[in-house]
Structure 1
């Protein structure tokens, strides 16, 4: 039986990105040994979207109120990439990581999976 999911972010600066997730996004975690941090995530869901060529994976953090979440993150020194976009299915922006990667952040307007 599936009991959870484990997402991996590949990074050119794992130390800085780990510190960002811990210190700026406030994610709780555990040290799996040698400073290898594994972070807890809120309840999650997975969707499969059609693609014309090989598959890809993206990670989006969801929130109930994107503007309130942005204000809270900015209070922690997080600068977001771009303005909030109304995509119809949700309000979307992104969080740049120190390594240059990014996480999506959105307020869904679609039904979400039960937890």
Structure 2
């Protein structure tokens, strides 16, 4: 039986990115040994998109109000890309201390992590 999902981000500064995500997500974290921090994620969902190219995987955080979330992140000194409208949602990216970017979006489609809206 599948009990959860484990996402992996690769980073040039893993320690800084772990601390950043721990503080950003404010969820339960555990030390898996030797200071190797594993951070709990909020409820998640998975989608499978078709591709003509090489299969790849992406990770996005979701929020209910991308403008308010971006304003909060910027007030905390976090770099964030400009928000773009993709039709299916409003998309941006959070700048990680290790140099990577983590997608963030406000979905406009039904989400699997919440009960259906009336």
- Give ranges in structure 2 of 5+ residues lacking alignment: none
Count of residue correspondences: 113
C-alpha separation in 2, matches of 1:62 and 1:13: 24
C-alpha distance in 1 between matches for 2:77 and 2:43 = 25
CA contact (8 A) 1:11 1:17 kept: yes
Q: Which has the higher strand share?
A: 1
2:102 counterpart residue number: 103
TM-score (norm 2): 0.88
Alignment of 1:1-115 (within 5 A): 1-23=1-23, 25-28=24-27, 29-81=29-81, 83-114=82-113
Contact 1:96 1:103 in 2 (8 A): yes
CA contact (8 A) 1:27 1:41 kept: no
- Runs of 4+ that moved beyond 3 A: none
Q: Name the TM-score, length of structure 1 as normaliser.
A: 0.90
**Unaligned stretches of 5+ residues in structure 1:** none
Label 1:101 to 1:59 Cα distance change in 2 as closer, same or farther (>3 A).
same
